[in-house]
Amino acid sequence: MKLRLSILTGFFLLTLSANAQQQQPKLVVGVVVDQMCYDYLYRFYDQFGKDGFRRLMDKGTHFRNVTYNYVPTYTGPGHASIYTGTTPANHGIVANEWFHREYGKEVNCVEDTTVRSIGNPEAEDGLRSPHFLRANTITDQIKLTYPMGKVVGVSIKDRSAILPAGHMPDGAYWYDHASGKFITSSFYKETLPLWVSDFYTSNPVGNYMDQEWKLLHPADKYNYRDLDNSPYEQLMPGKTTPTFPYDFRSFPLADQLNYFTVLPFANTYLTDFALQALKSESLGQDENVDMLTISYSTPDIAGHSFGPYSLEMEDMYLRLDLEIARLLTTLDKEVGKGNYVLFLTADHAVVPVPQLLQDKQLPGGYVYLTPKLEELRQACTAKFGSEVIDRIENNNVYLKTEVIATEKAAEITVFIQQQIRGWKEVKAVYTKDELLGAAAGDEWLRMVRLGYDRERSGEVIFLLQPGFLPKSNNTDDAHKGTSHGSAFNYDTHVPVLFYGAGIPKQEVFTPYQIVDIAASVVHILQVQRPNAMIGKPMVELFMKK
């Protein structure tokens, strides 16, 4: 394997040198689908149209063996890692939220109370920026190298627009749940561009909400048609069964605006906005290279409730296929087939509903953290004479701030580690000293270390057994729906597709990591590697056939 990789690297360097003078594309489009399992591409392949996912698979480069190389696999860390080409240990986005010791509270990974909301002055959703992001992104590198080039990031989720767009974009826009508009913050602009305001005037969110979610095709065309009333799905508001159709039109406006993001029409809303950004910002229309980042959040918002083996998610992806096709068709028309490169991937995948796994006699289950934490607190108090644990967040155990500086801190963390090792639902547990120590051969330790930040992570981190999810308590609702965040393949194995100018048509089985995407875009754009990048180029993209 080492010899093969050395040969591939040699070929890559020769090819790159020979093609160094090639014109880079006018536009790079990065598409991230939130919570997309790798096998969705094949599970729904026959139902997809020819111009969406299948076009990317059949006419581009399909990397079939790409995984995340760290934990935790959440949305914030995923987007930051894709676009910085490094892991949370370097870029600092260790979760969607974490306990911030200096503030004494949990913080959102893009929270910023020093900025103002632009587009809706009252919106808390607007108090956002990338100030927690410690590494440069590929989009930052574009702005450094080509100052006249433009970068725009859009998403329903704030973090999914902000982290890909980086620190210096021409715009980052996300959905405001209070108004239904796309907004930004004063970190980027003092006023909304006129085109953003005009978009909402001509495309009010009410037009997208004013419909029910029913099946796109006749029911007999679906693989999961017999699983509509599944016991493993959470109930949507106003429903007595988890079945089609879904309709929030009779709800108060505030609830409609909130629940709208679970509907596939939110993907359409985002595509329309992205295409308006493409046109209004004249992306890909001159000699300066531009980048547009688009993140589809709704598959994740819905996926938590329904799980990956559901009729709802099948219909979600058939509808998303139409959005991908519309995006590609517009890029062909507005930018030109030979003038852009698009890549598509996911920020993580998802575990099947653990209760479903249990019912099918597969490994899986739940750990109920409220009683576990209480037992742990009592054991620590009995051992050390006082309360030493502050909280558990994202499988991180945080000690109280006043305890960390004491001589007993190391002893306390080892004691907590020993206690957690006794939980049958836990696969591995590591202390801060182990994570900051010398390299080890333990693969799970390596993945945790790559996702660890000494200021933002806890003093003890544990991994659950495959198929297990953490829950607060053992309730009926805890056994419905699902989540992600683990080191296992159901969370870490994701699609990676490249398509467009100079991209060969091929399937690639070479193992790569998620941090290698940005390392490849570096060479497509002929720019310097961003400061903390650890990824390597996906060499098959550059080996002309």
| Active site amino acids | 75
Q: Cα–chain-centroid distance for residue 101? A: 25
CA angle 197, 202, 205 (to 5 degrees): 85
Do residues 128 and 158 touch, judged by C-beta distance below 8 A? Answer: yes
Report d(CA 320, CA 35) in Å as an integer: 13
Give the type of residue at 379: A
**Length of the chain, in residues:** 545
Cα-Cα-Cα-Cα dihedral sign, residues 30, 341, 170, 280: negative
d(CA 407, CA 469): 34
The rounded distance, in Å, linking the Cα atoms of 28 and 500 is 9
Give the DSSP letter string of 406-435: STTHHHHHHHHHHHHHT-TTEEEEEEHHHH
Burial of 270 (C-beta count, 10 Å sphere; 0-12/13-18/19+): buried
User: What angle in degrees, to the nearest 10, is found between the helix axes of 369-384 and 409-421?
Assistant: 140
Query: What is the rounded distance in angstroms from the CA atom of residue 433 to the CA atom of residue 414?
Result: 9
- DSSP for 184-223? EETTT-SS--HHHHHHHHHS-HHHHHSS-B--SS-GGG-T
